[in-house]
Amino acid sequence: MPKIKNLSDACKVSFSPDGPISEETLERVRALLDEIRPLDLGLDNEAQIARTWNSSTRQQNGRRGRGGPNQYAPTIKYLHIHECESFSMGIFCMPPSSVIPLHNHPGMTVLSKLLYGKLHAESYDWIDVADPTDPLKPCYSLGCSKTSKVCERP
């Protein structure tokens, strides 16, 4: 997996425990990430299968439970590639209709790549809202959607 090794090596010199070393090194990592394809990760067969899916042939995810069909969320798998003090690399294998709960990455720089399939991602920002009992005391609420994007890879 030479492309993954190149990406990992670039990350080693581009990230510190405090984040990216520079904008230039971050752009180098982004450029290498853009080159990664399913074949580079041994996922070409899975990508080929996903290319044949469409809304009429795709089976529903989840198991049938007492609450009816699709009561349980599809299983999301994580393939760990590397982790150190400065960065981590991994792959989320997400079946159609799967959902990752709302979460944050405080103090982190996150780069993501969709290898195949279709993904709907939403990002939110925290906004300052005054406390109704004390207008001088700020409290925080989830703000309006910052980004809502659908990505698709053949």
Segment 11-30, tens digit of pLDDT: 999 999 999 999 999 999 99
Could you state, in order of their start, the residue ranges of all structural domains in the chain? 2-53+72-153
Contact 116, 134 (CB under 8 A): no
More confident residue, 135 or 68: 135
The answer to whether the predicted template modeling score (pTM) of the entire model surpasses 0.85 is no
- Residue 80: beta bridge partners? 90
For residue 38, the 8-state DSSP code is: G
Neighbouring C-alpha atoms within 13 Å toward the C-beta of 79: 7
Instruction: Write down the pLDDT at residue 104.
Output: 84
* Residue type present at position 108: M
